């Protein structure tokens, strides 16, 4: 009996500890990733672990793999200790499906959120209804942001929710110097989209390409099965993106917005070191395993390592290296030479044009002119506010695309994501080439950033000019 007591007691203690641990075991949830290779930062929830207990978390408790190859975890710390900011993307439904009382709470909640922005935080405000509109681009100016929020009002009959989400996800590409690497989307909606042209699957595919967590509040005045159906869609989108879905129910919207803000701030940041990773624009899988006591939790996330944009200094042309005095002497010599030639030739009688041989006259007057070859192109917009709009161009030699009126394809209505002279087209040996012109938000060819070297275009290629995407069609050589 004594021996049994010594054996049973420790076993019972182990079982009780396991049960207690299982009730509050931390769950790892990878929310998003930013990279500056070879360093990679993974933003993760660690379930029941509180920020105050973070000293008990050590890199040795984590294992990480990228595409199945193990990488080292060099650090783990609460997000609030990193000194980073957050780029908040607020999507505001301005359709009349919302009661005025709830909309007033949304304005009040967003105003309170803006007041609490940190010095490195930025906010981007977008309204969606019959159309999707940027009310204020990423800004840290609290007064401006508060004014814009205070002016919001219900006006529209439709809700282009999916188009607003696609716009917000594409902001992941922005590389403004003072814009935080971490972005999150905050939206209140009933989950129903009306007339945006994007299906749920389109949004989910965009999430795979440009992962930004969607923190959604489900508020619905729909009746019957539609209510649960569309709220479930919103839940799926949030879950797939690494975000959180919270039903409004009877709780105050102010409290729910505050809870979402706390969840966003409550993550831990894992720093990984990957010596074999390359900025190739391709999709890679990151897996993280967290070990606490005798139990392990794991999660995975897909990410693209996009090439970093560097501002290159244009090389000086040879004529820019010539001293000014050389230009002065050359100019004086040309003036003297012109005077001498004028004096020598002014008394020479010039034959009448009618005396010239027809062949010479034709050559001098351009009677024989060779037509320049060109190639027809169609740019069909597949994202942004003007989906379906077609831009046509007959390319001869070279052409430019941008928001400037002087461009061959002018995208003035899509500011501010498109630079004045954004990218350049070139016709060379019946092939159409494209390159970026040091634009602010970059140019992507089939999802891969291109820099300043020319790349060949083919029909059905997808070109992203800033945040706007186009499907390319190339016709016959004219």
Report how far apart, in Å, the C-alpha atoms of 275 and of each of 37, 39, 67 are. 8, 9, 13
Mean pLDDT of the region 67-71? 94
Mean pLDDT of the region 123-130? 93
- Give me the residues paired with residue 311 across strands: none
Q: Give the pLDDT confidence of 313-371 residue by residue, as tens digits.
A: 445 556 666 777 777 788 888 888 887 777 766 555 444 444 444 443 344 444 433 45
Residue 129 and residue 157: Cα distance in Å, rounded? 7
Question: CA angle, 311 as apex, 307 and 312 as ends, to 5°?
Answer: 105
Mean pLDDT, the chain, whole residue set: 81
Please tell me which residue, 293 or 275, carries the higher pLDDT value.
275
Q: Look at residue 235 in the predicted model and tell me its pLDDT.
A: 94
Q: Residue 477's pLDDT band (boundaries 50, 70, 90)?
A: low
Q: Look at residue 279 in the predicted model and tell me its pLDDT.
A: 83
Q: Residue 383's pLDDT band (boundaries 50, 70, 90)?
A: confident
Q: Residue 12's pLDDT band (boundaries 50, 70, 90)?
A: very low
Q: Look at residue 317 in the predicted model and tell me its pLDDT.
A: 58
Comparing CA positions, the residue from 221, 215, 219, 214 lying closest to residue 258 is: 215
Q: Look at residue 115 in the predicted model and tell me its pLDDT.
A: 94
Highest mean pLDDT pick, 30-34, 49-53, 123-127, 446-450: 123-127
Burial of 256 (0-12, 13-18, 19+ CB in 10 A): buried
Please tell me which residue, 363 or 165, carries the higher pLDDT value.
165
Residue 440 has pLDDT above 70, yes or no: yes
Other beta carbons less than 10 A from residue 318's beta carbon = 7
Mean pLDDT of the region 142-170? 91
Q: Look at residue 308 in the predicted model and tell me its pLDDT.
A: 61
Name the pTM for this structure.
Answer: 0.64
Q: Look at residue 11 in the predicted model and tell me its pLDDT.
A: 40
Please tell me which residue, 166 or 362, carries the higher pLDDT value.
166
Residue 18 has pLDDT above 60, yes or no: no
Question: CA angle, 280 as apex, 277 and 283 as ends, to 5°?
Answer: 80
Q: Residue 96's pLDDT band (boundaries 50, 70, 90)?
A: confident
Q: Give the pLDDT confidence of 146-156 residue by residue, as tens digits.
A: 999 999 999 88
Please tell me which residue, 21 or 206, carries the higher pLDDT value.
206
Q: SS in 3 state form for the chain?
A: CHHHHHHHHHHHHHHHHHHHHHHCCCCEEEEEEEEECCEEEEEEEECCCCHHHHHHCCHHHEEEEECCEEEEEEEEEEHHHCCCCCEEEEEEECECCCCHHHHHHHHHHHHHHHHCCCCCCEEEEEEECCCEEEEEEEECCHHHHHHHHHCCCCCECCCCHHHHHHHHHHHHHCCCCCCCCCEEEEEEECCCCCCCCCCHHHHHHHHHHCCCCEEEEECCCCCCHHHHHHHHHHHHHHHHHCCCEEECCCCCHHHHHHHHHHHHHCCEEEEEECCCCCCCCCEEEEEEEEEECCEEEEEEEEEECCCCCCCCCCCCCHHHHCCHHHHHHHHHHHHHHHHHHHHHHCCCCCCCHHHCCHHHHHHHHCCCCCCCCCEEEEEEECCCCCCCCEEEEEECCEEEEECCCCCCEECHHHCCCCCCCCEEEEEECCEEEEEECCCCCCEEECCEEECCCCEECCCCCEEEECCEEEEEEEEEEC
Please tell me which residue, 276 or 224, carries the higher pLDDT value.
276
Mean pLDDT of the region 252-256? 83
Residue 1 has pLDDT above 60, yes or no: no
Q: Residue 162's pLDDT band (boundaries 50, 70, 90)?
A: very high
Q: Residue 54's pLDDT band (boundaries 50, 70, 90)?
A: very low
């Amino acid at each position: 009996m004594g021996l049994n007591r010594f054996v049973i007691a420790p076993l019972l203690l182990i079982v009780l500890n396991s049960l207690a641990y299982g009730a509050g075991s931390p769950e790892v949830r990878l929310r998003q990733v930013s990279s500056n290779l070879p360093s990679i930062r993974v933003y993760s929830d660690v379930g029941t672990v509180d920020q105050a207990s973070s000293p008990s978390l050590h890199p040795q408790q984590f294992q990480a793999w990228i595409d199945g190859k193990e990488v080292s975890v060099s650090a783990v710390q609460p997000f609030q200790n990193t000194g980073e900011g957050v780029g908040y993307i607020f999507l505001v439904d301005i359709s009349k499906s919302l009661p005025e009382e709830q909309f007033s709470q949304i304005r009040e909640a967003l105003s309170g959120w803006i007041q609490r922005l940190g010095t490195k935080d930025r906010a981007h405000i977008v309204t969606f209804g019959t159309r999707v509109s940027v009310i204020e681009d990423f800004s840290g100016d609290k007064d401006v942001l508060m004014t814009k929020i205070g002016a919001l009002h219900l006006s529209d009959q439709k809700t282009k929710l999916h188009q607003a989400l696609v716009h917000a996800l594409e902001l992941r590409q922005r590389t403004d110097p003072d814009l935080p690497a971490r972005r999150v989307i905050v939206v209140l909606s009933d989950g129903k989209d009306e007339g945006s042209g994007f299906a749920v699957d389109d949004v989910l595919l965009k999430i795979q390409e440009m992962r930004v967590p969607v923190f959604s509040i489900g508020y619905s005045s729909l009746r019957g099965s539609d209510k649960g159906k569309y709220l479930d869609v919103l839940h799926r989108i949030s879950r797939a993106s690494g975000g959180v879905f919270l039903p409004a129910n009877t709780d105050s919207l102010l409290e729910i917005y505050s809870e979402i803000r706390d969840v966003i701030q409550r993550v831990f940041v894992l720093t990984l070191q990957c010596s074999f990773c390359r900025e190739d624009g391709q999709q890679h899988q990151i897996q993280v395993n967290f070990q606490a006591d005798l139990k392990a939790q794991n999660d995975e996330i897909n990410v693209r390592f996009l090439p970093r944009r560097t501002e290159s200094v244009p090389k000086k042309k040879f004529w820019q290296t010539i001293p000014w005095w050389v230009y002065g002497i050359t100019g004086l010599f040309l003036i003297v030479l012109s005077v001498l030639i004028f004096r020598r030739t002014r008394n020479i009688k010039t034959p009448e044009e009618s005396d010239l041989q027809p062949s010479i006259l034709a050559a001098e007057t351009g009677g024989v002119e060779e037509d320049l070859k060109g190639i027809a192109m169609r740019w069909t917009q597949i994202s942004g506010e003007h989906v379906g709009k077609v831009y046509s161009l007959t390319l001869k030699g070279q052409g430019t695309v941008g928001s400037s009126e002087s461009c061959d394809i002018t995208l003035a209505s899509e500011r501010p994501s498109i630079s004045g002279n954004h990218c350049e087209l070139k016709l060379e040996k019946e092939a159409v080439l494209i390159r970026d012109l040091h634009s602010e938000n970059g140019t992507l060819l089939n999802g891969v950033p291109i820099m300043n070297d020319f790349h060949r275009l083919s029909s059905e290629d997808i070109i992203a000019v800033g945040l706007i995407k186009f499907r390319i069609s190339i016709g016959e050589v004219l």
